[in-house]
Amino acid sequence: MWWASLRRKLYQASHASFHGPSWRMEPGDLFIPVDSIEEEATLTCDAKGNPPPQYRWSLNGTLINLGLDRRSSLDRAQDVGLYQCMAFNTVGAILSRRASLQFAYLDHFKVHTRSAVSVREGQGVVLLCGTPTSSGDLTYAWVFNEYPYFVQQDNRRFVSQQTGNLYISKVESSDVGNYTCVVMNSVTKGKVQSSPTSLILRTDGVMGEYEPKIEVNFPDNVSAAKGSTVTLECFALGNPVPEITWKRANGVPFPSKVKMKYSNAVLEIPSFQQDDTGGYECVAENKMGKNVATGKLAFYAKPQWIQTMKDTVLAIEERLYWECRANGKPKPSYSWLKNGQPLVSEIHVEEGVLSVSVLTLADAGMYQCVAENRHGVIYFAAELMVLASPPDFTGNVLRALLKAKAGTTVTLECKPQAYPMASILWKKGNLPIHTSDRLANVSKSDAGSYTCFARNRFGMSSTTGRLLVTDPTRITQGPSDMEIIVGESIVLPCQVSSDPVLDISFSWAFNGQLIAKDDGHFELRTAGDLMIRNIQLYHAGKYICVVDTDVESLSAVAVLIVKARPPSPPAVVTVEEVTDSTAQLAWSPGRDNGSPISHYLIQTRTPFTVGWQRVNTVPEVIDGNTLTATVVDLNAWVEYEFRVLARNGVGVGEPSPVSVKTRTEDSGSANPVPEELQNGESFGYIIAFRAFGDASWTHVATSAPGAARYVYKNDSISPFSPFHVKVGTYNSKGQGPFSPVVTIYSAEIEPSGMPAGVWARSVSASEIEVNWQALSFTPERVLGYEVVYWEDDTKPETMGKMRVPWNQTSATVSGLAGHTQYFLTVSAFNTAGTGPFLPAINVTTKKPPPAQPPLNVEWTLIGSHLSLYWEPVVAMESESEVMGYQVSSPPHSHIQVNTLTTSNSSAELSLPEDDEDYIIHIRTMSEGGLGPASDPIRVHQLSEFIICTINILQIGLTKAAKWKLEELFVKSVKIATKEHKKRDKGLKK
């Protein structure tokens, strides 16, 4: 089935490079102030296609004759309405979305004197605004007496943004004055005001207390769009001033997003969702009673696609089945268009499904599925190509000569391009044969000329090829496993017997890598053998001889073990100079036995040691080219013997002959304790120490032979005070020398100071940058700073920490959760611990980047110029907004392209002009970081015709099929290139 689809694509690539329009940009809604009608209103549509599309426009369903319309300015009466663009070329036509053009305006109030409103003190009153005619959203305010003194809204006074009226629940004497209604158009920014209305108090008494009367109420049923902000108003007159409260009819508490404004007179629900629907109640209450207003909120949503069609290529007489689905509230209805017109009745259309049982050439064109409810309409377009042609073997002929080994299965591919599918007939020579494309267990009798005939109702075609059956190839002598010594040379044989008509080539691999001809140790002989000269240890491993013929590939394997021996013993060792603690040695080298000597080891023994022991020397490491060394750290007046050993890459060789016995000199009065007397009677250590700067030493003796630790305690010592210390030994024979003097410090205490000026900022969804000022002074040593951070004070396990050196005053905390509040603090530390922490600050990480990668990526390559297009990514409410896109190669890819960023959903790249393959990723960029990468876009730098073919073939394929198709093209081109090179080489010969 996949190959049938591929054949259609190949036919399409060979016979048609045309494709219908598809939208790059569709027109958007416009709301234009009437004051701006002298200017232009631009509605844009842009489509791609081949041939390039042309365009027509309609207004309220009537075609616009752009050639006859010579007006230089907009007309408020003529130009308002719904516009739709049609893009068309020779393949077909598609319609754009409907875009509305509206004019915003605000007329002036009628000029007339308004009657005064007379009320008793304590009575409620409503002052009517009487809004003039307008178009566009309006906002209302009231001026008290004179501008700019506006009525301040509180629990007693309210300006409705639905009616524009001013409501005073209980009039007071301070309310007496003139009131003017001010109306502003949010689109035009124009402002008009009414004539003033006087509010005066009656003199016939004060209004008594009465229960609330709700004057501002929301409708019984309110429909709201998904994601919109819903505003409900409720205000009551009453004495005393009523208190307004809200609740849901189902008793469920309001979510945190719901806001109450203007003393609860306004309930605001942002980002309206299905869960927000249902009954709402407004309760107005004072001590005289209460009143309730109710209403219901309903949810509606414009259609959105959840299933769409794809461009499709089918053969004549095949069946078409397309299905599209959209969600929305109320449920959308469906209709279908062909080339911008409603479908004819003979095509079966039912609830988003379009099916044609037997396709004809007339069915080809551009189709659109239309989903619509009373809140919106959406369009989705796909192209149907119907193919009809006689059989054609162009590009898929039988091989002129096909060689096959006897006993194998041969496939003779008879795959013509034919629409509808062709019937197949085979002939061997002039005789018809009953066979499929496969010949199993072929023998010499199967050789000959084969012809495939293909026929459909549009015509017939044929292709012929010759089959040559060859004898099997055998490796008569192959390499065998062997062991060899470093420095020798060998020949690994690889001899074959084969059919004389076959071309044979040999190659060798060593440990999985092809052996190059220019390697100094290897020689590839024409007969197939491999010579290895002057073998080294690294030549050990697996060798494979590969024999390639026209019909098969064989191989033979051998494992080569390369051996070397440790060095022979060095010659006679002489002791040339001796002191009380050193001896200078010299020796002659032995044979290296095939592996160079890397270094020498010196051993010694005395009457007091058990066996031979390693000694310290100068130089410390004696390399293989050095034949003298000085042995150090010997004891005075002791008889020593020495021997030398050599090491190479194989191991340590046998030791040299033993040197003559040699006694070290006497060391005089400062005689160190010999090793044989260290465990004698009264053995111990002498510890000498003094404070830094003191001249006299304090001496302490320890008599325990095994003691190697001493603690000095003195409460007057300051923390981290320096001391000079040296250690000596003694026994009943006398006192040995002291060790070299070293400086040590008493224990320190943790820093007492705190860093200052700590601040932090969120870098991304997973990183926070923390900064602070270095400690200006503290008596204690500061090794660095510790940053501690945690997510929740009630969860200690969420705590984390990091340390930086003393000269660093910033750190980046990473690995954090997105859109999460973290608490941070900083302190100084040393070896004693951490100092006091600063008061914690808190920072919230940025929202994570969109989880949705860029989808539906399309690309076009002309020469080395690559154009990329993809669908814009829309961030969810819990994600960071998309700031742009990054186009780059994935890490460690074979061929890298320069990384670029763009704020649009398209990009232009220039690739190096070569025949390499490129893999490109696209990611979203946001303040939360980079989003996930798109599926890899595989770009092949091929010829212009092949690129055009690949682009056309990708129509209607799955991603896996696209990659498979592209790999097939690349492989074909590489094989063709190889064949051309081989042919050129043969011509030169």
Contact 227, 271 (CB under 8 A): yes
Residue 503 has pLDDT above 60, yes or no: yes
pLDDT of residue 288: 95
Span 410-469, pLDDT tens digits: 998 899 999 999 999 999 999 998 877 788 899 999 999 999 999 999 999 999 999 999
pLDDT of residue 518: 63
Q: How confident is the model at residue 920 (pLDDT cuts 50, 70, 90)?
A: confident
pLDDT winner (highest mean) among 35-44, 163-172, 411-420, 834-843: 163-172
Name the amino acid, one letter, at 760.
A
- Backbone phi, then psi, for 512, in 5-degree steps? 85, -5
Q: How confident is the model at residue 733 (pLDDT cuts 50, 70, 90)?
A: low
pLDDT of residue 908: 86
Q: How confident is the model at residue 940 (pLDDT cuts 50, 70, 90)?
A: low
Contact 690, 724 (CB under 8 A): yes
Span 72-114, pLDDT tens digits: 678 888 889 999 999 999 999 999 999 999 999 999 998 889 9
Span 790-809, pLDDT tens digits: 887 665 556 788 899 988 99
Mean pLDDT of 744-760: 86
For the sheet with 810-813, list strands across it.
756-762, 768-773, 810-813
- Backbone phi, then psi, for 247, in 5-degree steps? -160, 160
Question: Which has the minimum average pLDDT: 55-69, 474-488, 930-944?
Answer: 930-944
Q: How confident is the model at residue 225 (pLDDT cuts 50, 70, 90)?
A: very high
Which DSSP letter does residue 621 get?
A: S
Residue 962 has pLDDT above 60, yes or no: no
Give dist(CA 217, CA 292) in Å, integer. Answer: 10
Give dist(CA 172, CA 220) in Å, integer. Answer: 33
pLDDT of residue 62: 93
Residue 9 has pLDDT above 80, yes or no: no
pLDDT of residue 684: 76
Residue 983 has pLDDT above 50, yes or no: no
Which DSSP letter does residue 150 get?
A: B
Residues in the chain: 989
Token digits for 888?
Answer: 């780059």
> Average pLDDT of the chain?
85
- Backbone phi, then psi, for 411, in 5-degree steps? -110, 120
Residue 543 has pLDDT above 80, yes or no: yes
Residue 522 has pLDDT above 60, yes or no: yes
Token digits for 329?
Answer: 């509230």
For residues 670 and 509, the model is more confident at 509
Cis peptide preceding 416, ω within 30 of 0: no
Pairing of strands 937-940, 917-926: antiparallel
The strand pairing partners of 217, in sequence order, are none
Question: Which has the minimum average pLDDT: 53-62, 205-214, 545-554, 929-938?
Answer: 929-938
Give dist(CA 560, CA 428) in Å, integer. Answer: 51
Span 669-711, pLDDT tens digits: 336 445 555 545 667 778 888 888 787 888 887 765 555 677 8
Model confidence pTM above 0.75: no
- Non-local CB neighbours of 172 within 8 Å, separated by 6+ positions: 121, 156
pLDDT of residue 965: 52
Q: How confident is the model at residue 944 (pLDDT cuts 50, 70, 90)?
A: very low
HEC per residue, 450-475:
EEEEEEECCEEEEEEEEEEEECCCEE
Q: 548-587 burial string, b = 16+ CB within 10 Å, else e?
A: bbbbbebebebebebebbbbbbbeebebeebebebbebeb
- Non-local CB neighbours of 219 within 8 Å, separated by 6+ positions: 295
Q: Which residue has the tokens 């090829």?
A: 465
CA distances from 817 to 479, 766, 805, 852, 881 (A): 61, 6, 26, 18, 17
pLDDT of residue 796: 55
Residue 831 has pLDDT above 90, yes or no: no
Q: Which residue has the tokens 């209403």?
A: 295
In the chain, the percentage of residues whose pLDDT exceeds 90 is 54
Which DSSP letter does residue 40 get?
A: -
pLDDT of residue 797: 58
pLDDT of residue 199: 96
Residue 15 has pLDDT above 50, yes or no: no
pLDDT of residue 520: 79
- Non-local CB neighbours of 251 within 8 Å, separated by 6+ positions: none
For the sheet with 906-910, list strands across it.
855-862, 865-871, 906-910
pLDDT of residue 892: 53
